[in-house]
Structures are given as C-alpha cells and as structure tokens.
Amino acid sequence: MTSKLIDLPQAAALIPDGATLSLGGFTAQRHPMAFVYELIRLGRKDLYLFGHSPGSDWDILIGDGRVKRVELAYEADEAFGTVGPCWRRAVESGRIEWEDYSNFTMVLRFAAGAMGLPFMPTRSLLGSDVLQQEALTKEQRRADLRTPTKKLHVMESPFGGSEKVVLVPAIHTDFAVLHVQKATPSGIIRIEGQTFADVVQALSAGTVIVTAEEIVDDSMLRAEPERNPLPFFVVNHVCHVPFGAHPYAVYNYYDYDPRQLKAYHTAAANTGLPMLGVMLAQLTHAPNCCIIFEAGTVGSRLAHLPMSVGDPRVMRQAASAAGLFEVFNYVLQAGRVDVGFLSGAQVDRFGNINSTSIGLDPRHPEVRFPGSGGSCDIACLATRTIIIAKHEKRRFPEKVDYITSPGWLEGGDSRARAGLVRGGPSAVVTTMGVMRFRPETRAIYLASYHPGLSPEKLAENTGFPLDVRGAVETPTPTPEELRILREQVDPEKVFLG
C-alpha cells in the first residue's frame, strides 16, 4: 500500500491561513502539541477552530494571535488551570470571535458532519443560556459561509406529543489533526484508552493528519482490527512524532508533565472535589458504585486521584472505555446516570449554575470562564445532581449572570415547562454547609451548617435571603473517613492542602 508518511514540518505546511481545524485529545490527554508548535513557527493566522474540551493546545495558538474564531464547549486544563489565560484575555478584550456550546452538543455536531447529516437532535441545552444566547452576531455569521446561519433550532417532536428537542448544526472542517499511540505508513491507527471525540472529528474533516508515538507494520494492527477505530482511507498523512503530546499524557506511553502545566497556569482549585467524594464513597459505603467519566470511561476503580476527567488514571480497572459520543448518548441522554456532580463560579437560589461569564452582556463579558464542558449536559440529563461550591457571597447571587447549567430555573414547574424531562439539583454542598431545595417551590434552604459555624454565618455569606428554618449541624467525618481521605484519596494534598 502507498505510504502516507511525511515529516512534521511538511504536514503543518499543509494548513493554510484561515483554515477550519479541529485538534484531537481532551483536557490532559493526547493533544497534538508538536503540530501546534509547528503552526506557530510557520506563522499561520486567522485559524477557525472547532472543538469540545481543548486546553493549552488552543490557548497558546490564541495567545500568539493565530486564531480568529472558535466554536467550543470548554477551554482549560482542568485542575492545572481552571480557564485558559490567553482565551480569557482574548474574549474579555474582544480580540476573538466565539460561540459557546456544551461538550455533548459539540460531539453531536461532529457526528452529524461525520454521517453527512445537516444536524443532530438532543434533549440537552433546554432551559440554559447556552441555548438562549448567541455570541456570534448575524453579521459575523454572514461574513463566513462556513459558519451556520443560526446557532441551533428548537422544535417539538414531529411524531406526536409535545416533547422538545434541540437541533444542532453539523461541523465540516478543512483539517483534523490527531495524536495517537500507533499508526502504520498506510494510515491504520490505534488509539489506546479513551477515544474522546477523535473518531467523529476525523470523519467530519476534509483532510486528516495523524501524529503517532510509534510507526508499526500493518500486520501488527491488522492482527486486532477491532481495536482500529478509523478506516485507513480516511487518514491522509502520518507523521512519526514521539512525545508529540507533551506536556499532556498519552495512555500507556507517558504521564502529563505537572511542572510544565502548573508553570503555564497561575492557579487551579476545586476541580477535583467531586473526585474526592466519589473515591471516598467507593472506599467506604458504596464499593459497587459505578463511576462514569464524561470523557468515555465507565466503571473505574480509582487508586490515584485524577486531575482531569480525561486523566489516564481513570482507566484503572474500568469496565469499558470508549468516547464522549458513547457516554453522552447511550448513558447520559438515555437516563442511565443516577447522580451527576457539578460546580461553577455562581449558583443562584434555584440551583442554576454559571461557568461561562460575569457581566450582563455575554458578548462582552467582564470576566470569562472556561464554559460549559459537559456540565450543561449533565444538568439537563442526569436523574439528579449535586453541586459543590466554595461558600462566598459573590458566588451565591439572587440570579446568576448566565445559566450555563440549568437547575430549577425559576422554581416551581419551570424546569418541566422548559422541556427537561428529568433531573434537577438535589443538594448544594459548600465549604460552610449543605443546602437543599423545597419540593413545593424548588427554592434553596439550609439543611445543615458545618461544625464551628452558625446559620446566621451562612446567611451573611449568601447573596440572597437564605431560609435557615430547621437547619442542624452537619455530622463530623469519622476518623476512618478522614484517614482514607488523607492517606488513600489525596496523600499528595493536591486538594486537601
């Protein structure tokens, strides 16, 4: 078969100014970083990026002025950096054009492009400002024919009933660039571990470039064809690039480089708190709980604290590992997730969460956050959610500036009226207490306050009148629970300090 091998500079030179481009990987894994550096060396500009959860791969391109427009769900390195610093500055200063979606809806958009369909339906986004607000103006959409004429469309099912669905438009990029573990000169590739959205990103692109840790003979990968996720004829070019994802991880090859990632970011906090909780539960009262990570892993048995939902550590003794498309479609949207954990910059009295921006005009925010990621999808589609937050007055306003992840919306039955068929927040666990929601009004109330505090103290640190009737003191953790947290869950004191 014809060899598709070319060197990295040759491959990067194929990308022209103004190209539409998607990059594979997810938060802390398998971003094609060596390829990104080559684009910067070549001085490429006006790039139009499409992605779900990029990290510093996008951030350095944005910081170097190489990107004109992006469509995305989230931009951060999770625990290493809760928002991309260059992305934040570019949005806040008006130096970049963008549109917000969620992880699930971006994956569905790639899937529509991969299947040759104009759009895909979903139950996600209903009730959120991700649905209601458009960052790109009509003029900006008209100026680039590659941009859909509208962000999305809401309709009732044409097959009877009044169920609402959201239609999201297909993505077709000029190029997709993936970094994988193994590839052959003919274009057969092997992705080990989570595939994220790499497959649908590749299938929705005109040209696919693969960088690989190893180049192997066809016979090696043909021996197990069920492990090869893409038809070889989809791959146009292959480059041998060992350590091509550094400082990010490549499962079965190398870990992420925490020193370099920490050096890039100035602060990181709170991302891992839900992981502390599920690890503690699995090691104590719920040994058989099934931990699901949106990046594609189901049934993990964690031994080390992950720094990201895409961390290679989540692969330990997992029951299955696939990609975002499978988890979001067949597990979350199908109603198979009992509890989802969420967090954000703001939480209001009805449990709506903001992880997008501060300011009354989302197109010109005072402060930009990473975006929805999968939070909106989990808030819309899980059977119930638990919110984890630092308890500060500014974090608990009467009304959030932007509803990234819908809670009980305006209270009462407003969630159901928005078209959401299940779910809603059941509790808000903070650094000061535990709050729940009145079943008749769906308004928040104080259920318990942590030892050493008082209901009055929590009320003082909440930006709306807090109902404290009937609040009791939170039970203290047992000595055994504290030992497990300190010695087994977080011995390096990443989050416990």
Quick check: is 294 catalytic?
Answer: yes
**Both 323 and 456 in a single domain?**
yes
Whether residue 304 lies inside any domain: the answer is: yes
**pLDDT: which is higher, 78 or 373:** 373
> Which pLDDT score is estimated for 265?
66
Note whether 340 and 484 are same-domain residues: yes
CA atoms within 13 A on the CB side of 55: 30
* Residues 318 and 200 placed together within one structural domain of the fold: no
Is 485 in the same domain as 406? yes
242 and 342 in a single domain? The answer is: no
> What average pLDDT score do residues 275-300 get?
90
CB of 80 closer than 8 Å to CB of 307 = yes
| Nearest one of 255, 298, 301, 310 to 278, comparing CA atoms | 301
Q: Give the model's pLDDT for residue 492.
A: 84
Residue 2 lies in a domain: no
User: What number of helices (H) and strands (E) belong to the chain?
Assistant: 16, 24
Q: What Cα–Cα distance (Å) separates residue 390 from each residue in 211, 345, 429?
A: 41, 9, 9
Q: Which of 38, 78, 213, 294 is catalytic?
A: 294
Confidence (pLDDT) at 264: 77
| Per-residue DSSP letter, 5 | B
Which of 214, 237, 258 is the last residue in one of the domains? Answer: 258
Q: What is residue 25's predicted lDDT score, i.e. its pLDDT?
A: 97
Beta-carbon count within 10 A of 425 CB? 28
pLDDT at position 272 = 63
Residues 214 and 278 in one domain: no
Mean pLDDT over all residues of the chain?
94
The pairing of beta strand 433-437 with beta strand 444-449: antiparallel
SS3 220: helix
Entry pTM: 0.93
Nearest to 406 by CA among 99, 31, 125, 62: 125
Domain that holds residue 84: 8-258
> Are 248 and 315 contained in the same domain?
no
| pLDDT tens digits for range 193-239 | 999 999 999 999 999 999 999 999 999 999 999 999 999 999 999 99
Q: What is the pLDDT of residue 267?
A: 31
Q: Please, are residues 133 and 402 in contact by the beta-carbon 8 Å criterion?
A: yes
Alpha-carbon span 390 to 266, nearest angstrom: 19
- Same-domain pairing of 42 and 155: yes
Question: Do residue 128 and residue 216 come from a single domain?
Answer: yes
Q: What is the pLDDT of residues 450-484, one digit of tens each?
A: 999 999 999 999 999 999 999 999 999 999 999 99
User: DSSP character for 467?
Assistant: B
Q: Do residues 213 and 319 both lie within one domain?
A: no
The whole-number average pLDDT for the span 180-190 is 98
Q: Are residues 17 and 129 in the same domain?
A: yes
The tokens describing 363, both together, are 């197109």
Instruction: Assess whether pLDDT exceeds 50 at residue 175.
Output: yes
Task: Please give the tally of structural domains in the chain.
Answer: 2
pLDDT tens readout for residues 82-139:
788 999 999 999 999 999 999 999 999 999 999 999 999 999 999 999 999 999 999 9
266 pLDDT higher than 70: no
Asked if 302 and 253 sit in the same domain, the reply is no
Q: Is the dihedral of CA 481, 483, 487, 490 positive or negative?
A: positive
- The rounded percent of the chain whose pLDDT value lies above 70 is 98
Asked whether the CA dihedral 268, 365, 20, 11 is positive or negative, the reply is: negative
